[in-house]
Amino acid sequence: MLGGAAAADANGKDGAISPAPTRAPPPTANRAALPLKLKLLRPLLLLAVLATGFLAAVVLLLGGSTYSVLPRLSVPDALSSAPSSRQPRPHPQPQACAGDGGGSPLERRARPPAGAWHNMTDEELLWAASWQPRIGRYPYRRVPKVAFMFLTRGPLPLAPLWDKFFAGGDRALYSVYVHATPGYRADFPPASAFYRRQVPSQVAEWGQTSMCDAERRLLANALLDPGNERFVLVSETCVPLYGFPVVYHYLTRSRQSFVGAFDDPGPHGRGRYRAGLAPEVRPEQWRKGAQWFELDRALAVDVVADDRYYPKFREHCRPPCYVDEHYLPTVLSVEAPGRIANRSVTWVDWSRGGAHPATFGEADVGEAFLKRLTTPGKEQGTCTYNGQPADVCFLFARKFAPSTLKPLLALAPKMLGYGG
């Protein structure tokens, strides 16, 4: 939303504006020496100033239009162009930083920390992550990255599938963060996208505030890399439904963040509202949505820096009020209603009923099932993307049991567009 388009715009504009001063008034020395001529020149000067302003406006308009065209690319566009234009690359060593040794001083300063681990407390981390430049345009070439934030208890059984997915993307376009139960040490080979990507963690219990703490901790860790522009939360049971280029373009070209939010008048919706949340949140502002969010950088900073709503949710929203189902949907609907799509990009199957969505096992995963998940008009449903009707609504799906790894690896090249 901000990154690539904004950077390109800034660069293009600087170049385009520079010809304008050739029509500017003559040098001061001449005018001081010839006061009479100055009087004659005055209308000309005025004209020149007007012309310069007009030129600047034209340049702005032109610049503005390229800026707005980029994110408006329709979803089918992203789908058809992306996979063919980018050949899957072999996975480079994660230690090799893009542009090591080169780049401007700013680019060097904007480089991500070498590893994901650090010694900061949560308080220090959230503070460090809440910094943001107030000038929106980057004065260097910044290619926006997507941060994939894995919230997991222990192992990541589907990591080999994700590694196939990441191998279809350039290392400079994504980053990975893993928040696991404290004490759990993931052991990935250096070639894996998960290698040394674990962040310091705390116990996170489903339905408790500690779960939302973990989400904010993940966001804060990912914000430490200034290159990250989109932040997507996934779990160990999630799988990508399309190849990396499709997912990357879908997220980075979206003008909105993908946070599910709806008004449920029933006991599991507004019934969970707590009077203590007023006046910050009124009952009619109460929203519900799935935990699996996707945020742009500006909203991610707002979330880690929030000291207005979060303390109140922590105090008043206790089970059966679930912070992870209500905090983000409610607060973003109050503070930034136009900037969220009110929908998630993670598909889940509630059709079997009950308190938990369906978990798919080895026997469920076949060609027909994956086709249903990825074909427009089937499980993808209908939605809008940048204000236009779209038929790709979900980029990820859950919940997949560890036993699905084998069939998924086998079918991914043909059915999901990666791993071939």
Ligand X SMILES: *[C@@H]1O[C@H](CO)[C@@H](O)[C@H](O)[C@H]1NC(C)=O
Residues that bind ligand X (CB under 6 A): 117-119, 333, 337-338, 341-342
Q: How far is the CB of 337 from ligand X (least distance, A)?
A: 4
112 or 402: CB nearest ligand X: 112
Q: Tell me how far, at minimum, the Cβ of 118 lies from ligand X, in Å.
A: 5
Q: Least CB distance from residue 333 to ligand X, whole Å?
A: 4
Cβ–Cβ under 8 Å, residues 229 and 3: yes
CB of residue 61 to ligand X, shortest distance in Å: 26
Cβ proximity to ligand X, 167 vs 290, nearer residue = 290
CA distance 50 to 150: 55
Residue 189 vs 338, nearer CB to ligand X: 338
Nearer to ligand X, 192 or 342 (CB): 342
225 within 8 A of 3, measured Cβ to Cβ: no
Alpha-carbon gap, residue 276 to 287, rounded angstroms: 16
Dihedral sign computed on CA atoms, order 380, 384, 390, 396: negative
Residue with tokens 């408790």: 208
Residue 257 near residue 341, CB atoms below 8 Å: yes
User: Among residues 113 and 361, whose Cβ is nearest to ligand X?
Assistant: 113
Please, which residue, 105 or 338, has the CB nearer to ligand X? 338
- Give the nearer residue to ligand X in terms of CB position, either 152 or 342: 342
The Cα–Cα gap between 19 and 258 comes to: 41
| Range 186-212 burial, b when 16+ CB lie within 10 A, else e | bebeeebbbbbbbbbbeebeeebbbbb
| Residue 289 or 417 having the CB closest to ligand X | 289
Using CA atoms, how far apart are residues 16 and 55, in angstroms rounded to an integer? 10
CB of 341 to ligand X, least distance (A): 5
- Min dist CB 287 to ligand X, Å, is 7
CB 174 within 8 A of CB 194: no
> CA-to-CA distance for 120 and 349, rounded, in angstroms?
38
Pairing type for strands 174-179 and 145-151 reads parallel
**Count of CB atoms within 10 A of residue 344's CB?**
23
Smallest separation, CB 280 to ligand X (Å):
16
Output the smallest distance, CB 119 to ligand X, in A: 4
